[in-house]
Chains A and B, each alone.
Chain A
Amino acid sequence: MHGHLPFVRHPEHEHFLEEDWLYEAMTETYIPLLSIFEKLLEEKIDFRLTMTLSPTLLSMLQDGLLQSRYLNHINKLIELGHKESERTRWQPEFNQLANHYLASFYSCRDLFERYQRNLAAAFKRFQDAGKLEVITCGATHGYFPLMDVAKASIRAQVKVASGHYEKTFGIKPKGIWLPECGYNPGDDEILKEAGIRYFFTDAHGLLHGAPRPKYGVFAPVYCKSGVACFARDLESSKQVWSSIEGYPGDYEYREFYRDVGFDLDYDYIKPYIHPDGIRVNTGIKYFRITGSEQKQPYNVHAAAEKAAQHAGNFMFNREIQVEYLYGLMQKKPIIISPYDAELFGHWWYEGPQWLDFLIRKIHFDQKTIRMITPSEYLQENPRNQVVTPSMSSWGWKGYSEMWLQGPNDWVYQHLHAASSRMTDLARSFPHAEGILKRALNQALRELLLAQSSDWAFIMGTGTHVSYALKRTKDHLLHFLRLYEDIKANSIDELWLSGIESKDNLFPDIDYRVHQ
């Protein structure tokens, strides 16, 4: 599972719409997953999952300001939950749901407080227990294939990420999820420098690699650098992702777009939406997909039944797949099924439940397959073919077009220029101290933040473009000003302190990694 959100921390405003991305994902995805892990651990049910927690996401989960804002957020939801429980008193089917949401908000708050508001620590617990393998990502999710002329930035993305990971989890990351699964031959050398042992590509990344991979996507390969590459299995992906055959579109499942934040009377809902009156998702949604415009009330039990069925179906298909592959390969195949973590819970409300059912079924109901992490697989199967995977991503059309098209292609001129200036700075000041060092470190933070693939992605989709434009521009402008101030030896300490406290991630960053 790939858990990532861009760095959206805005101390300058009490309520910032984009921070809701984080709060929604916490309530709907991260906390539900964690509470499933807790129960599995409690009941001694063995499982293995590999999960990216991107450094920007981790930084936000560890941030005191965002933690206290989340507490406010969940308290407001609890308040709304109580009101909803009252309001729907004469509509039993909605009333049941209102109570269901209220209970789930309470248990979110409960888990959040049990881990001292730090969900990163919660994830660490399951990694330490040997159930979860947390892997890293690019520091700010920069898309590597479009940094081919800025290799120093790829290095900085990897090294800052692995440093931050080590500080959080006490060990070095074993693997990495390349942002957007974007691989360009040669980038594995940089992973090797950071001690990372494996990464992932999409299916065609490995299948179109040279020489041909003997076992297709069902066994990892080594790049020439010795870093292992695992490739995505599209059959299992499709069962979950596909808009046509995928599970999340089932009629019994909850409808994403019917939220009381939009559906209810303005005066009533006003305290729970944006203070400027902009309607937002609250997370309380009463309808199921239904299959027609006339949406029917959502039924928690029917949906859970469906999730269990789908988990059984998924497991059955993997068993068949593995038996067939074993006959063909005469070797244990590995099936890599990667998904965006936010798919589970946020988009597909029943996703965490489905995962829970799947884990339990695999544990109790069969003997053909087992869950494994990539590092365990490599330990058991150290001998693998040497292949150079092909440049690829898991984005739209499989290559770089999502991040390189009319609305966003202009950013690269600036990102590349800033990157070469950063290298110039790192080389010019090998031993900076004091305020100069602070300015250099902040320059790298700003550059990394500008590189987040999320901005180009958002510009590419056309949704919410103004925010993405502003973020790209602001970080680049901060960088350019720092560059000029450093070169002119006239750093404005007050201004520097201001942006340090705003863009405050990676406190231990070392600008010298950008070379």
Chain B
Amino acid sequence: MALLRGVREKIKKAVKAKKEKVMRKISASRTKRKEPQKQERKEVFGIQELAIEKSKFSTPVAVKATRVMPQELPAGYGVDRIVIQVRDSWWLHSYWEVISATWDKLKRELREAFFNAKKIIRVYDVSHIVFDGKNAHRFFDIEVGLDTTSWYIDTGSPGRSWCVDIGLLLGDGRFITIARSNVVYTPLAGPSWITDEEWMVPEEMFARLYGMGFGFGKSSPVGKAWQERMRRALFSGIFSSPGIASAASPVKKAIKERKFWLAVNTELIVYGATEPDAKVLVQGKEIKLRPDGTFSLRYALPDGKQVIPVRGIAADGLEEKTITPIVNKETK
């Protein structure tokens, strides 16, 4: 970048400090600025948009992020249902509701077997097919707790279509579907391998354009850096259990601060009173009196000597008085 700037390290530090301030706004109600803790940061895709967008909502009252469910909203909507959504190229989010009547019915029908059954979600790869419940390319199961109503699913496969059942896996291996989800498609994590015939894309040219599209300039190893970055970003949460994968979000890390600070400023108040219709000049500049003839002025007081002549002139101009406070300020 051809920016005419001096010391690069300095810039990084400044920006870091600025960004951390954004984050700090989140965690503590505003007291006063503090020296940010040094902390290693990498640039995450979209983080800047995030910070800027967030600055639109900057207000001093901050509340800690807790998972508070507004109590008055219903816990469910009275239908058996499972929905899946795409979080990114690898991960799905699913939520479901199974009404108690359904559990009762299953209990009645399955008797003993019900109590040995596992509640699972079954994830089907349904790419390029019309799914009929039996023709999936493959599937895998995730056992979920009885009270669980949502789950993050690591599909491991971008560019595939998915469908999920919530149901019971019986001791004898039978699976009973309670509800079946919508079908979603996880987006590709890289460029498509499809190049249409009419518009044959020369490989080398696409490669160069691909790199430039991500702002890597002409020389960078095309696409690789991006994919690496995306993989890092996406996998940052993979080691935590599903559902809290997002705890890896850098914006939510509580930044522990420990740096004592103190700020002291001085201001000077000059006040007085005269006849309400008189004219008053302070340092030669006319000021506005209150209706009762009083006045009050406030100045930021820098170090040094301030000479402040206050001159009052009667309304008829025949009489006048000057009083001159002199203030010396020094800071040690």
Contacts and interface: CB of A to CB of B under 8 A. Distances in A.
B59 A280 contact: yes
B67 interface: yes
A305 to B, nearest CB: 11
Nearest to A410: B69
Nearest to B95: A413
Contact of A211 (B5, B85, B194): B194
B176 interface: no
Interface in B69-98: 69-70, 72-74, 77, 83, 85-89, 91, 93, 95, 97
Interface in A464-481: 464-467, 469-470, 472-473, 476-477, 480
Task: Point out which of A310, A347, A396, A460 has the most chain B C-beta atoms below 10 A from its C-beta.
Answer: A396
B243 interface: yes
A328 B215 contact: no
Interface stretch (B105-113, B132-140, B180-188): B180-188
Given A211-B199, A216-B210, A472-B70, A91 B300 contact: yes
B87 A401 contact: yes
B26 interface: yes
Interface of B: 1-5, 10-19, 21, 25-27, 30, 32-33, 35, 43-70, 72-74, 77, 83, 85-89, 91, 93, 95, 97, 149-150, 182, 184-185, 187-192, 194-196, 199, 201, 205-206, 208-210, 212-218, 226, 230, 233-234, 243-247, 249, 251-252, 265, 267, 283, 297-302, 306
Contact of B87 (A310, A385, A404): A404
A206 B4 CA distance: 33
Contacts of B13: 291
A215 B209 contact: yes
A293 B246 contact: no
A90 B300 contact: yes
B196 A414 contact: no
Given A289-B18, A401-B246, A405-B249, A480 B74 contact: yes
A457 B49 CA distance: 12
Interface in A242-271: 242-247, 249-251, 256-258, 262, 265, 268
A404 B210 CA distance: 28
Nearest to A216: B209
A133 interface: no
A91 B300 CA distance: 8
Given A244-B11, A313-B2, A469-B68, 11 more contacts: A87-B299, A148-B182, A207-B210, A210-B192, A212-B195, A241-B48, A243-B16, A313-B3, A390-B192, A394-B46, A461-B54
A281 interface: yes
Interface in A404-431: 404-407, 409-410, 412-414, 416-417
A332 B2 CA distance: 24
A211 B300 contact: no
A187 to B, nearest CB: 13
A238 interface: yes
B85 A291 contact: no
Interface in A309-329: 309-310, 313, 316-317, 321, 324-325, 328-329
Contacts of A289: 14, 18
A278 interface: yes
Given A405-B246, A480-B74, A398 B45 contact: yes
A71 interface: no
Given A293-B35, A400-B85, A401-B87, A211 B14 contact: no
Nearest to B59: A17
A279 B30 contact: yes
B86 A391 contact: yes
A392 B72 CA distance: 34
Nearest to A274: B60
Given A21-B57, A401-B87, A405-B249, A463 B25 contact: yes
A221 B305 CA distance: 70
Nearest 3 CB-CB pairings of A with B = A405-B246, A216-B209, A462-B65
B187 A293 contact: no
A258 B149 CA distance: 45
A208 B191 contact: yes
Contacts of B18: 243, 249, 256-257, 289
Interface residues of A, number: 125
Contacts of B97: 413
A233 B56 contact: no
Nearest to A324: B218
Contact of B63 (A215, A238, A386, A464): A464
Nearest to B253: A462
A231 interface: yes
B213 A231 contact: yes
Contact of B93 (A5, A90, A409): A409
Contacts of A416: 83
Given A249-B14, A278-B60, A465 B65 contact: yes
20 contacts: A21-B59, A208-B192, A212-B201, A215-B209, A216-B206, A217-B213, A235-B212, A235-B214, A235-B217, A238-B215, A243-B48, A246-B48, A268-B298, A329-B205, A385-B199, A402-B50, A406-B243, A407-B66, A412-B93, A461-B26
